[in-house]
Structure 1
Amino acid sequence: MNGERIVRTDFSRGEAVGGLVWLSIAALISVLLQVVYLGTWVTLPGGGRLAVPYTIIIAFLFNMVLTRTARLWSPNPAVAAIPLYVWIGGFLAFMFGVELTGDQLVGDNIRSVLLLFAGLAGGVWPLVRGK
């Protein structure tokens, strides 16, 4: 091989829509898991506890992957950002859903703010960085 990337472009509009739908479903599942496991604590050998919000890093990296993959389906940045829109919508639904359900899924702490900004940054990065 000569090291060139081969990008397939002979797909139909329906395949592109289907790809974006699956990426959006993945975005919803990921934001749910990231919010649920944001409050992870690890018990240290001495009995102390340490907060380990690893889902902040996962949000950045996974949203980057979702947006980069969506760019393969559409060169239009607004369309390629659909999984990011879904991720943000899911985050906001979990944040404001407490009014409807009474269950607070997104805590009112700095980790939640960092998760939001990490998810946004990861999703926007492939759009502004270019190819």
Structure 2
Amino acid sequence: MSLGDRLRYGGLLLVSVVLAVVELFFLPLRLDGRVLPNLASIPFPVTVLLAAFTTPLLVTAASRFSLRTVVAAGPLFAWLGTLLAFLLVTPGGDRIVLADWRTLLLLAAGAFPAAVKIGDVLAKATLERAKGSNRG
């Protein structure tokens, strides 16, 4: 990868970290009339949808730099690492990661579609190797 590609890839990793932080901070949103409309204070984890949409996109963007699994999975690793860091290290002893169904839903919605995209990258890499070995 060229220097420009490395910088863009680093930007993708940074975006993954920022998205993980935003998704964690807005995970406890409720339909209580403060930020969202009032609807009996029902929990509304809108960031789960954001995670389900953005993590596969980041993996796809990273796979354009290289078909190596480690490179393509970098945004997912950065995202998961950020979630783990906020789970283990809490600023001032405050809990940021909720111990309920919303956190599990966020993990599943972010990790599963990204893992499927990583499988896509593995399949493309295998096809590229097969094409290369058939030529020789």
**TM-aligned CA distance change 1:110 to 1:17, over 3 Å:** same
Which amino acid is the alignment partner of residue 52 of structure 1? Answer: F
Task: Specify the alignment match of 1:109 in structure 2.
Answer: 100
Report the Cα offset of residue 46 of structure 1: 7.6
Note if contact 1:16-1:74 (Cα within 8 Å) is conserved in structure 2: no
* Displacement after TM superposition at 1:15 (Å): 2.0
Q: Deviations over 1:91-131 (max 9, x none)?
A: 00111113x63011101111101111211113212111346
Structure having the larger proportion of residues in helix: 2
Residue 119 of structure 1 is matched in structure 2 by 110
Question: How far did 1:47 drift?
Answer: 6.2
The CA deviation string for residues 64-90 of structure 1, in whole angstroms up to 9 with x for no partner, is 110000011111121111111111110
Count of aligned pairs between the two proteins: 119
Instruction: Point out 4+ residue stretches in structure 1 off by more than 6 angstroms.
Output: 44-47
1:86 to 78, 86, 94: 78
Q: 1:102 is matched by which residue type in structure 2?
A: G
Root-mean-square deviation (CA, aligned residues, Å) is 1.9
Q: Which TM-score applies when normalising by structure 2?
A: 0.79
TM-score (norm 1): 0.82
Q: Gapped runs of 5+ residues in structure 2?
A: 125-136
1:27 corresponds to 2:19? no
